[in-house]
Amino acid sequence: MNAIKVRGLQKSYRVYQKNEGLWASLTGLFNREYRDVDAVKGIDLDVDQGEFVAFLGPNGAGKTTTLKLLSGVITPTDGEAHVLGHVPWKRENEYRRRFALVMGQKNQLWWDLPAQESFRLHQKIYRIDPAEFIRTRDELVDLLDVRHALGRPVRELSLGERMKMELTAALLHSPEVLFLDEPTIGLDVIAQHNIQKFLKHYQEERKITILLTSHYMKDVAALCQRVVIIAQGEIVHDGSLDDIVDRFSGHKVLSLQFADERMPSDLARYGEVLEVVAPKAKIRVERSSIAEVLSSVLSSYSIEDISVEDPPLEEVIADMFKLTAKQQAEEKASQVPIP
C-alpha cells in the first residue's frame, strides 16, 4: 500500500531579476523584470508503507522543495500528492499528527531553553498522553544516548547532540511518515554513524516510511535499498544502488599485490593507474575489459592478492549528475526553435 503517492507535482517560483549597478537598481523600482524558475517539474513518485527511500540530487535539483510540498509547508503550482491519504497542503490537523519533518539546517527547538522544555511543548501541541509521552521520550533519549544533555540549553549542545534532540522532538508523537532533509550535515564521522545506527534501528522496529535527502553517500548505503534521483526538478532514476553502479559506472577498480618487489613498468596498458606503492597497485579498468585484464595479469605475474571493486559511490553519483545535466542541456537546446 502506498504511503506517498505523487502525480505530476510541479512548483514554480517567479524570481525578480536584479541587474548590476545603481541606475539599474533605480530603474528596477519602476520597471521590474522577472523570470520563472521551475523547482519541481511534474514528478511522479510512489513510496510504499515501511520503505526507507533515499531522495538524491545536486544542489538546486528540487529535493527540499519536494519535501516541503509533501509536508504541506508550501503549495504546488500544479499536480497532486497524497501522503497517508491526505493532501499535504490542506494542512489538516489529523495529517500533522501523522508525519514529521527534520531539516538539518533548521531548528525546531527553542535555542535558549533546554531540549526537555521544547519536548513538553511538543507534548501539548500534539496532545500526547502524559504516560505515553514519558515512555516515548525516555526510549528515544536512551537510544540516542542524550539523557545527560536534556537539561542543558540547546545553544550549548554540540552539533551532534542538537541533531539527536531534533530527531527526538520529531518522533515524540510517533509519526508514520518521516521526512529527513540532510540530517547528518556538518556532523563528524562518529556522530554520522550514531545517527545512521539509530535511524536504521528505529525504522526496522517501527516500520515507518522515511524519505531521506543527503549528500553523504554513506548515509544512503547504510540505510536505503531504494534510491530516487532528481535533477533540475525531474526524476531521472528510481531503483537500487546496484542499478546506479551498473548504469552509470563504466569501469571497476582493480587492486593488485605482487608477490615480490618486481612490478611491471607498463601498468598503464591495463587501464588508468590510480596508485602505485610497491608491491601494490590500483588500476581503473573498463568494465567490459576486466576479464581480459585479469587473465593477462595472472598469466604474466605472480600475484599475492587481488580484488575487483566498484568505484566509490560518491564518484558514481557525481558522474551520473554530470551526465544527466549534459543530457538535459542537450534536450533543452534541441527544443529551441531555429530562427
Could you report the per-residue pLDDT of 110-156, keeping only the tens digit for each? 999 999 999 999 999 999 999 999 999 999 999 999 999 999 999 99
pTM value surpassing 0.75: yes
Mean pLDDT value across residues 167-189: 92
Question: Going edge to edge, which strands form the sheet with 33-48?
Answer: 33-48, 2-17, 78-83
Contacts of 243 (CB under 8 A, 6+ apart): 227, 237
Mean pLDDT value across residues 323-338: 70
What is the b/e burial string over 77-86, where b = at least 16 CB atoms within 10 angstroms of the residue's CB? Answer: bebebebbeb
pLDDT at residue 51, as a whole number: 95
Under the banding of pLDDT at 50, 70 and 90, the label for residue 87 is: very high
pLDDT at residue 101, as a whole number: 93
CATH superfamily membership of 48-74+87-245: P-loop containing nucleotide triphosphate hydrolases (3.40.50.300)
Contacts of 218 (CB under 8 A, 6+ apart): 192, 196
Q: How far apart are CA 142 and CA 13, in angstroms?
A: 43
The rounded percent of the chain whose pLDDT value lies above 90 is 51
pLDDT of 65 > 80? The answer is yes
pLDDT at residue 46, as a whole number: 96
| Count of C-beta atoms within a 10 Å radius of residue 204 | 11
pLDDT at residue 336, as a whole number: 59
pLDDT at residue 261, as a whole number: 65
| Count of C-beta atoms within a 10 Å radius of residue 197 | 14
DSSP classification of residue 207: -
User: For 221-231, how does the pLDDT look when each residue is reduced to its tens digit (9 = 90+)?
Assistant: 889 989 999 98
pLDDT of 28 > 70? The answer is no
pLDDT of 71 > 80? The answer is yes
| 334: amino acid identity, one letter | S
Q: Which of 77-81, 117-121, 202-206, 317-321 has the lowest mean pLDDT?
A: 317-321
pLDDT at residue 24, as a whole number: 66
pLDDT of 34 > 80? The answer is no
User: For 245-274, how does the pLDDT look when each residue is reduced to its tens digit (9 = 90+)?
Assistant: 777 778 889 999 988 767 788 888 888 899
pLDDT at residue 143, as a whole number: 94
| Burial zone of 1 (CB within 10 Å; 0-12 exposed, 13-18 middle, 19+ buried) | exposed
Instruction: Please give the grid coordinates belonging to residue 132.
Output: 505515553
Question: Phi/psi of residue 247, each to 5°?
Answer: -80, -40
pLDDT at residue 61, as a whole number: 85
Distance of CA 109 to the CA centre of its chain: 23
Domain ranges, ordered by start, for the chain = 48-74+87-245, 250-309
Options 3.40.50, 1.20.120, 1.10.3210, 3.30.70; CATH of 250-309: 3.30.70
Q: Where are the beta strands (DSSP E) in 192-334?
A: 209-213, 226-231, 234-240, 251-258, 272-277, 280-286, 303-309
Instruction: Please give the grid coordinates belonging to residue 208.
Output: 515507518
What is the b/e burial string over 26-35, where b = at least 16 CB atoms within 10 angstroms of the residue's CB? Answer: eeeeeeeeee
pLDDT at residue 327, as a whole number: 73
Mean pLDDT value across residues 232-248: 84
pLDDT at residue 338, as a whole number: 55
Instruction: Please give the grid coordinates belonging to residue 62.
Output: 528540487
pLDDT at residue 57, as a whole number: 86
Mean pLDDT value across residues 154-168: 93
pLDDT of 315 > 70? The answer is yes
Average pLDDT of every residue of the chain? 88
Instruction: Please give the grid coordinates belonging to residue 32.
Output: 521590474
